[in-house]
């Protein structure tokens, strides 16, 4: 029988332990009990006190005797010993430590392998100091150590079996690197034969500096290997209980092995925190807060913004940081120092490769914007483009390679991005993995790569509503005339100004009623969303915006074409509530062509604003964060639902924090460069309040809501599309079905009945918290499934995974391809369309190109947005796509791995199917006049960079 916790004993390093450099460890010197881990190598002692001392002079010290070096640091030893004893006592309530005693035949040696990664130096020179401090800690015996925790408990003490601490030696043989390098160490654990199966480990880091615990594995006497896929940063735990990591076995709460029950609950409590205090960089605490940190009233009263979240402006919750309120507005949270990062739990931060890659992309993209900004600064005050050729000068010529000044180019460098391993900021900056580019020009957007005029055609304008960056708004028109839902008392006549006469000249001989009956009329309608804000938006004097409504027709060739555009503003005249103008496609070669182009530009600009803060940020970034928080607070890493969702959460909170810092904040990139200005995010909260439902975030329900599909059990995937050639929907349904099948396969491994779902306490608490706290402002809204069956659980998980992966990919990774050419999707409209007989009308007639360019984003605004969406559209070097999991040995369960392998194979099949569809010339909406195949929902991008294809698992950028 294993012995209970006893007095500390001095240990000896395993003889066959091997460091990353393959060298055998040196014999160890014993140190007094209580000095963390009780180990010093001769190498450590010699390097600390005298590099001239021969190795033979470093003799082992008898147990209980003070070694020579201890006389020089007696106070330190006593202090450390005292603190460590205090920390150790905390374990006694839970663990029963097993110490080697008795005959050797009663024990077995378990061989373990631990893989760690140290922090990159290239972006943090202070790591050099920390690395030296870590080396000193090693010399003083303050090692990184590991204990095994059994799945069994001591029947006498009712405490969990835990092994002795085993330290990692030869740490000083590793050094911080400028590239991510995994260091692998061997450890031996001597435990009684009745120790049982290790189910967790306790890692203690007695260094100053954190390190990444990549993985840990143990080989059992029967040669079975138990894996612990940690992938987590371990901070100094010198005077704490250490970090808990579980093996990759998955258990429902009621099936948890007895030895892990208390640890499972303890780790969840650790992650929840106590809801108070300001969070620190190294914390791992998940809690909720409103979006009350977008404004900065202490810096400038004009930067005060309303709180998003609560009864007035409902919104999903973000992670709580605990920063103090601002001085001028107690409802707002202070934003801290200008360059300070917002807190997120440490494991939610970008990994080192992703961070280096993102930083390089950011610097390089910002550099692309330098010349436009400088060029505008030396021109007139408006900084406008001179002509369309001026816009094209921003881009590198097609096929131009990345070049560096000769003094920066490595001598004899031959860089092949296809064969490079993920490296560093310096490497990625100098040799990007993306498209051809130069240091000071933007990459050529795909929308003008084949034909620089095709973007302006009516067919392409309409096609992008089905396969562009925002294919989530267009809906079937079922009634005519179109009627607003806004209050007539405030906004006037609810009927649209578009008449049957406006439409019928483009209906191929049909009447409006016939076209409606044949389901061939569609609408992109932003009227009701924008009109209540248009007056306030235009009062900012930074732009001129309309509430837009566009009616489209599906031709006999199955191609969409616009029939009419309605542009509305509130009227300034007494007794009139709004003013609407209707524009229709004009005859060729007339000034009306430019008027029509201006109308389309206003529609594209409104769509750009809605896309960025609703289709993109609200519906993916913001909506996902509560699920991430709730999952970490309520679902143990041992839970099968946690593990199937984990890939769909990666990097999301980090990019969300960055967005709050510089993108969606008061005075941020969107406010400065998008026409709605300071009302942009507030409008997204109104959309969340009026239009967001969880069930309608699934692709099938979204299509049905917009009447773009009807339920049909005989149709593929159970839906019949109204427009059969709807690339986003067609490809999306393939991915939705595959994801749903995978979720069902995974869930059914662990849940054998609906009752098992109902009885899962962690699962039920998780779903309740998501609805009542994370999305608490919508807790009483319809659309929340009841979590009472396997079917509903599968639907919930599929919806979460869909939003994080496919929905996000569809609206994000094509941004530069389409909007990188500003006239196609201007973020700003600066002038209204003039009325005939006015001075502005004369200006338009005199120089229509000049007037058009003066009406949309200027050079500085365009460059700022282009730089931003270039970053957002870029795939990372270590991107994890659908069907991939980069965490090694994430599961040992053959059933789990088989289900995932099936899903991976399905991604290959869907890839081939999408390529075949793009090659089918009868499907005209897939490439369009710009000759740009729809690849946003291809499961994988073959290369990193600005590819316009590939579906990462998560909202990762």
Known catalytic membership, residue 616: yes
Region 377-386 average pLDDT: 66
The model's pLDDT over 643-678, given as tens digits with 9 standing for 90+, comes to: 999 999 999 999 999 999 999 999 999 999 999 999
The phi and psi torsions of 855 (rounded to 5 degrees) equal: -90, -10
Determine contact, residues 938/911, Cβ cutoff 8 Å. yes
Determine contact, residues 874/943, Cβ cutoff 8 Å. no
pLDDT band at 642, cuts 50/70/90? very high
Residue 284: other Cβ atoms inside 10 A: 18
Determine contact, residues 212/118, Cβ cutoff 8 Å. yes
Three-state secondary structure call for residue 525: strand
Count of alpha carbons within 13 angstroms of residue 153, beta-carbon side: 17
Cα dist. 178→129, 237, 348, 718 in Å? 15, 25, 22, 52
Identify the bridge partners of residue 856 per DSSP, sorted by sequence position.
829
Residue 34 has pLDDT above 50, yes or no: no
The model's pLDDT over 99-121, given as tens digits with 9 standing for 90+, comes to: 555 556 789 999 999 999 876 55
Q: Which of 208, 559, 629, 957 is catalytic?
A: 957
Cα gap 12→190, rounded to integer Å? 11
Q: Provide the mean pLDDT of the chain.
A: 84
Min mean pLDDT across 77-91, 193-207, 341-355, 771-785 is at 77-91
pLDDT band at 340, cuts 50/70/90? confident
The model's pLDDT over 850-889, given as tens digits with 9 standing for 90+, comes to: 999 999 999 999 999 999 999 999 998 889 999 999 888 9
Cα gap 290→307, rounded to integer Å? 7
- Determine if residue 31 is left, alpha or beta; phi over 0 gives left, psi from -120 to 50 gives alpha, anything else beta: beta
Tokens of 130: 């920390």
Residue 497 has pLDDT above 70, yes or no: yes
Q: What global pTM score does this model have? A: 0.86
Region 702-727 average pLDDT: 97
Identify the bridge partners of residue 522 per DSSP, sorted by sequence position.
476, 552
Three-state secondary structure call for residue 746: helix
Helix H or strand E encompassing 188: strand 182-192
Please count the residues of the chain: 957
Region 461-488 average pLDDT: 97
Three-state secondary structure call for residue 124: coil
Q: Which of these, 336, 237, 229, lies nearest to 282 by C-alpha position?
A: 237
Q: Which of 651, 812, 918, 953 is catalytic?
A: 812
Known catalytic membership, residue 469: no
pLDDT band at 379, cuts 50/70/90? low
Tokens of 697: 């975030």
Q: Which of 209, 527, 621, 825 is catalytic?
A: 621
Helices (H) and strands (E) in the chain, counts: 30, 22
Report DSSP state, residue 364. Answer: H
Q: Which of 43, 368, 616, 648 is catalytic?
A: 616
Residue 833 has pLDDT above 90, yes or no: yes
Residue 900 has pLDDT above 50, yes or no: yes
The model's pLDDT over 518-536, given as tens digits with 9 standing for 90+, comes to: 999 999 999 999 999 999 9
Cα gap 428→432, rounded to integer Å? 5
Residue 53 has pLDDT above 60, yes or no: no
Report DSSP state, residue 619. Answer: I
Cα dist. 538→94, 381, 531, 576, 659 in Å? 64, 20, 11, 18, 25
Residue 26 has pLDDT above 60, yes or no: no
Name the percent of the chain lying above pLDDT 70: 78
The model's pLDDT over 436-469, given as tens digits with 9 standing for 90+, comes to: 456 678 899 999 999 999 999 999 999 999 999 9
Q: In this predicted structure, what is the pLDDT of residue 157?
A: 85
Q: In this predicted structure, what is the pLDDT of residue 375?
A: 60
Residue 170 has pLDDT above 70, yes or no: yes
Tokens of 553: 């027709």
Cα gap 799→208, rounded to integer Å? 42
Helix H or strand E encompassing 564: strand 560-569
The residue among 815 and 400 whose pLDDT is bigger is: 815
Known catalytic membership, residue 812: yes
Name the percent of the chain lying above pLDDT 90: 69
pLDDT band at 171, cuts 50/70/90? confident
Cα gap 225→248, rounded to integer Å? 11
Region 126-151 average pLDDT: 75
Interaxial angle between packed helices 848-855 and 591-610, expressed in degrees from 0 to 180 and rounded to the nearest 10:
10
Residue 309 has pLDDT above 80, yes or no: yes
């Amino acid at each position: 029988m294993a012995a209970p916790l006893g007095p500390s004993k001095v240990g000896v390093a395993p003889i066959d332990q091997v460091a990353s450099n393959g060298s055998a460890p040196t014999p160890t010197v014993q140190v007094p009990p209580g000095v963390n881990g009780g180990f010093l190598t001769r190498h450590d002692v010699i390097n600390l006190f005298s590099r001239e001392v021969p190795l033979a002079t470093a003799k082992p010290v008898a147990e209980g005797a003070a070694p020579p070096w201890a006389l020089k640091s007696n106070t330190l030893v006593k202090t450390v010993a005292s603190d460590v004893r205090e920390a150790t006592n905390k374990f006694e309530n839970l663990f029963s430590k097993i110490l080697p005693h008795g005959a050797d035949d009663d024990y077995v040696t378990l061989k373990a392998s631990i893989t760690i990664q140290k922090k990159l130096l290239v972006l943090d020179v202070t790591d050099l100091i920390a690395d030296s401090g870590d080396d000193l800690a090693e010399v003083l015996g303050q090692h990184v150590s590991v204990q095994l925790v059994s799945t069994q408990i001591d029947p006498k003490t009712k405490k969990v079996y835990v092994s002795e601490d085993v330290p990692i030696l030869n740490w000083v043989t590793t050094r911080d690197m400028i590239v991510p390098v995994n260091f692998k160490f061997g450890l031996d654990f001597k435990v009684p034969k009745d120790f049982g199966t290790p189910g967790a480990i306790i890692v203690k880091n007695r260094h100053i500096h954190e390190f990444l615990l990549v993985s840990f594995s143990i080989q059992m006497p029967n040669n079975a290997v138990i894996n612990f896929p940690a992938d987590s940063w371990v901070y100094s735990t010198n005077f704490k209980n250490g970090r808990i990591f579980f093996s990759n076995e998955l258990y429902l709460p009621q099936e948890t092995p007895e030895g892990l029950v208390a640890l499972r609950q303890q780790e969840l409590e650790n992650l929840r925190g106590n809801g108070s205090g300001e969070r620190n960089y190294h914390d791992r605490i998940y809690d909720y807060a409103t979006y009350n940190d977008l404004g900065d009233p202490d810096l400038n009263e004009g930067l005060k913004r309303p709180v998003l979240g609560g009864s007035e402006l409902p919104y999903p919750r973000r992670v709580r940081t605990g920063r103090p309120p601002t001085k001028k507005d107690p409802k707002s949270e202070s934003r801290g120092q200008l360059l300070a990062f917002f807190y997120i739990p440490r494991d939610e931060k970008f990994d080192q490769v992703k961070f280096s890659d993102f930083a390089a992309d950011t610097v390089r993209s910002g550099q692309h914007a330098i010349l436009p900004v400088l060029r505008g600064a030396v021109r007139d005050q408006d900084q406008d483009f001179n002509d369309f050729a001026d816009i094209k000068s921003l881009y590198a010529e097609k096929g131009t390679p990345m070049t560096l000044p000769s003094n920066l180019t490595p001598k004899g460098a031959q860089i092949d991005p296809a064969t490079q391993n993920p490296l560093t900021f310096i490497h990625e900056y100098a040799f990007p993995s993306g498209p051809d580019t130069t240091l000071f020009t933007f990459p050529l957007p795909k929308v003008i790569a084949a034909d620089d005029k095709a973007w302006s055609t009516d067919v392409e304008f309409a096609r992008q509503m089905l396969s562009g960056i925002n294919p989530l708004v267009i809906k079937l028109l079922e009634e005519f005339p179109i009627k607003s839902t806004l209050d007539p008392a405030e906004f006037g006549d609810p009927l649209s100004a578009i008449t049957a006469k406006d439409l019928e000249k483009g209906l191929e001989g049909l009447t409006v009623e016939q076209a409606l009956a044949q389901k061939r009329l569609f609408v992109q309608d932003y009227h009701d969303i924008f009109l209540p804000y248009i007056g306030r938006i235009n009062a900012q004097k930074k732009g001129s915006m309309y509430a837009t409504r566009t009616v489209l027709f599906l031709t006999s060739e199955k191609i969409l074409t616009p029939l009419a555009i309605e542009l509305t503003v509130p009227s300034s005249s007494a007794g009139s509530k709004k003013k609407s103008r209707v524009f229709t496609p004009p005859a060729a070669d007339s000034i009306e062509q430019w008027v029509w182009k201006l109308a389309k530009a206003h529609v594209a600009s409104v769509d750009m604003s809605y896309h960025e803060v609703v289709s993109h940020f609200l519906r993916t970034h913001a909506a996902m964060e509560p699920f991430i928080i709730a999952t970490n607070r309520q679902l143990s890493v041992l839970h099968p639902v946690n593990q199937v969702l984990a890939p769909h959460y990666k990097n999301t909170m980090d990019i969300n924090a960055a967005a709050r810092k510089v993108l969606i904040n008061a005075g941020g990139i969107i406010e400065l460069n998008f026409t709605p200005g300071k009302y942009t995010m507030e409008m997204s909260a109104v959309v969340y309040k009026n239009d967001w439902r969880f069930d309608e975030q699934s692709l099938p329900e979204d299509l049905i809501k917009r009447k773009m599909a009807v339920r049909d059990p005989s149709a593929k995937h159970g839906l019949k599309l109204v427009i059969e050639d709807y690339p986003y929907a067609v490809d999306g349904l393939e991915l939705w079905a595959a994801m749903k099948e995978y979720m069902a396969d995974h869930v059914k491994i662990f849940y054998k009945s609906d009752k098992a779902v109902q009885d899962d306490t962690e699962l039920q608490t998780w779903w309740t918290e998501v609805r009542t706290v994370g999305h608490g402002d919508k807790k009483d809204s319809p659309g929340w499934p009841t979590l009472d069956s396997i079917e509903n659980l599968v639907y919930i998980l599929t919806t979460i995974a869909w939003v994080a992966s496919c929905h996000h990919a569809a609206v994000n990774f094509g941004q530069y391809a389409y909007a990188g050419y500003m006239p196609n999707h201007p973020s700003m409209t600066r002038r209204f369309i003039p009325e005939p007989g006015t001075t502005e009308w004369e200006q338009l007639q005199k120089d229509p190109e000049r007037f058009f360019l003066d009406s949309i984003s200027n050079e500085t605004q365009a460059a700022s947005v282009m730089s931003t969406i270039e970053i957002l559209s870029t795939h990372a070097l270590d991107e994890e796509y659908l069907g991939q999991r980069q965490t090694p040995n994430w599961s040992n369960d053959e059933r789990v791995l088989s289900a995932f392998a099936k899903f991976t194979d399905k991604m290959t099949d869907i890839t081939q199917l999408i390529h075949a569809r793009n090659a089918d010339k009868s499907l005209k909406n897939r490439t369009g006049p710009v000759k740009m195949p729809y690849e946003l929902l291809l499961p994988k991008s073959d290369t990193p960079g600005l590819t316009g294809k590939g579906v990462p698992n998560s909202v990762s950028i």
